[in-house]
Chains A and B, each alone.
Chain A
């Protein structure tokens, strides 16, 4: 096989950027709750898919514009996130146990999804879904572009919030030294509820993006876990810009690998990168 053409490589890089943006969007909420609350929320993926199915339902059956479903999904999922955090705090769940409990939640949500929507593939048909732009020889699908825009803007917003607002600084301080932050008036329980809600809302947004670009099936929840964890850990926990940067790096390396060899080699790239990062800089995490 000869070397692929420049346009193929360029298109691969672009699609790598797009999928990386989705990894980043999925990873954003995960990274923030892991880094700032010391909770590994496996249920993040289940929540995203729940949002994806809800978007599908409201849009296909209810006739609502997919983007408008965000109006319902964002506050609804915020509330879900608050409820989950309340549960965690009430039972004093440690970092490792949170992994196990959220796995249980994931399985429950997956069953819920399967019982309502069955295991059949579901595809959200929308005007956005089929729209494409053309930039020179590059094809830019509208949903993917939307995902990229949302991902970047949300990552930047969270970064700015953590950096410049009082609440953001309080969150960072509480994550570094809880008792001293408390001594200066930071109400850690209230902030934890707020952050959890925000992370769940982010999962909701990611779900809508997934619904726009992908065909849905309940078992797919698990397919994203590995690569998003890789993006989160490579980006550094608790750093809002980390997952999207790492996600794009992973996405581009995956799709270029796919273009040069075959699609099934892609996971090797992301996971080898993850292993290297974990071994070389474990303290970073």
Chain B
């Protein structure tokens, strides 16, 4: 069994024995509170820490859980333990309903998402307060029988809290290591790029949100019985979300165990201060700690430790490239260009706020060829690449890839179908290692591999592009040339049928360009069709089978390089005409 799961199981078994020691009530209640906050903070982090969608609405789902349990247990006499799954279900449905609306609106990220979720909390709270669910006086649970799990009620709560905390940690870890986790972290760094690489961003966010809400509700259900009296006014406030934010940020939002660390520290601090005469000073220290963490340790306690360990690993002696797992493929025969047209663009139109970027553009791409797309600045080349990869939808015309109309599909669908692209200005996932950057498309692109296979595949492509010894580096440590090659490796790792290269050579030295040209030839020999947007004419001459020339959003010429570049209208488009 995996080391972490084993550790959790052992810790769980040890901690479960504590009530048998007969310690004073205080300790068990204190531990319950620690477990309680571990559940809340860890569950919050599953969506907000991993994906970067900071929710300020955790209180709404916690409260939904509290009220479901309170209502079912005290009004309908449902046995307490059965109310917990019901609480989770209610919160999950509520969360998915909110997510279905909010995650679809493109502009709502960052601060906006935080505020929508905060507003949602107050809306739910008001509704609960004013309808028969609560109605004002709150709900008492003193008559609800506490299940006899431990020697005393306090130990029962201790054990319930412990179980919930272990389950939450196990789930958080499981997601962290899964394909969903990788997708969420990719979304965190650059959602648009993640989508274009094949990550089904909407689905990932919904699943993470649902899990997060369900776990929060379970914590709420248990807590309702613990405090035995629930009111809307105390529950649906800004307190719960702000506390979990603080705990997670302190511990480190990018690590599955970060929030748990933060929860333990903060709960201990709170008890140490507020229990005594120094309640007020304690609160001030609380605020000071938050500020200090943001200013000096923005990655949190665990985050900083992990980063330091990675730096040490990256500077260690690199593993020799000839790993037994990697087969070096013999270079294939140059494949003949097939008669099939892998991409057909017909009558494509695209305008941005009145400016026509592409107008009546017809481009065919034959399978196995390298098609050059050239033209002066502003002629529409990048727009074309953005349309084919799904960043934008065309205003008009048809876009058919391998027989499928892709104009109306989400970008991640297009990626799964076999289209990959590079960005003119490299857009790596800044917080993922070079290896993980390349693993993302391997997992979510056309190849759709599982995590371990994806990592192997990623290593292979890093080999191919000469970045194998930098696998554990972060993108910020790479120079421009290496970043461009990282872009390339990332595009290749999804095993695309059609590769769109957007000015991949700009900014490189002549030697680097030569190396890139060789690489691109090898890529074509491996079976990809390439559309190659470039300004570096040397490469265009060397690589392309055909060229299409764009100017002011229209195709002005098409043919082989010799045919096209000899035409005076093409030269004029590039160099301009002089007028005396």
Contact = CB atoms under 8 A, between A and B. Distances in A.
Contact of A91 (B106, B118, B295): B295
A79 interface: no
Contact of B119 (A104, A114, A230): A230
- Can you list the 4 inter-chain pairs with the closest CB atoms, starting with the nearest? A107-B287, A282-B107, A111-B284, A104-B290
Which of B111, B123, B246 has the most chain A CB atoms inside 10 A of its CB? Answer: B111
B235 interface: no
Contacts of A267: 122-123, 125-126
Interface string A242-285: 00000000000000000001101111100110110011001101
A272 B238 contact: no
Contact of A282 (B105, B129, B136): B105
Contact of B126 (A108, A111, A268): A268
Contacts of A226: 118-119, 122, 238
Interface of A: 40, 91, 93, 95-97, 99-101, 103-108, 110-112, 114-115, 222, 225-226, 229-230, 233, 261-262, 264-268, 271-272, 274-275, 278-279, 282-283, 285
Contacts of A100: 245-246, 249, 290, 294
Given A229-B115, A278-B112, A279-B105, A112 B284 contact: yes
Contacts of B409: none
17 contacts: A95-B110, A95-B111, A100-B249, A103-B290, A104-B289, A107-B286, A111-B280, A111-B284, A115-B284, A226-B119, A229-B118, A230-B119, A261-B130, A274-B115, A278-B112, A278-B115, A279-B105
B288 interface: yes
Chain B contact residues, majority secondary structure: helix
Interface in B288-335: 288-291, 294-295, 298
Given A268-B127, A282-B105, A104 B111 contact: no
B235 to A, nearest CB: 14
B86 interface: no
Given A267-B122, A267-B125, A275-B119, A111 B291 contact: no
Contacts of B245: 100
B126 A264 contact: yes
Given A108-B288, A268-B123, A274-B115, 19 more contacts: A100-B245, A104-B290, A105-B291, A107-B286, A108-B291, A110-B287, A114-B283, A115-B284, A225-B238, A233-B115, A262-B130, A264-B126, A267-B126, A271-B120, A271-B126, A272-B119, A275-B120, A278-B119, A282-B108
Interface residues of B, number: 44
A40 B288 CA distance: 18
Nearest to A115: B280
B284 A96 contact: no
Nearest to B56: A99
A271 B283 contact: no
Nearest to B282: A111
Given A99-B111, A264-B126, A268-B126, A222 B238 contact: yes
B94 interface: no
A91 to B, nearest CB: 5
Which of B108, B126, B239 has the most chain A CB atoms closer than 10 A to its own CB? B126
Given A91-B295, A225-B238, A271-B119, A106 B287 contact: yes
A282 B112 contact: yes
A103 B105 CA distance: 27
Interface of B: 54, 101-102, 105-108, 110-112, 114-116, 118-120, 122-123, 125-127, 129-130, 136, 237-239, 242, 245-246, 249, 280-281, 283-284, 286-291, 294-295, 298
Nearest to A116: B280
A285 B238 CA distance: 22
A96 B245 CA distance: 12
A228 B115 CA distance: 12
Given A100-B294, A103-B290, A271-B122, A111 B112 contact: no
B290 A279 contact: no
Given A275-B116, A275-B120, A278-B115, A101 B294 contact: yes
Nearest to A281: B107
Contacts of A91: 295
Contacts of A95: 110-111
Given A101-B294, A101-B295, A105-B291, A279 B116 contact: yes
Given A101-B294, A275-B119, A96 B110 contact: yes
A253 to B, nearest CB: 13
B372 to A, nearest CB: 34
Contacts of A265: 126, 130
B490 to A, nearest CB: 26
A96 B127 CA distance: 29
A119 B252 CA distance: 34
B44 to A, nearest CB: 14
Contacts of B238: 222, 225-226
Given A111-B281, A278-B112, A279-B116, A222 B126 contact: no
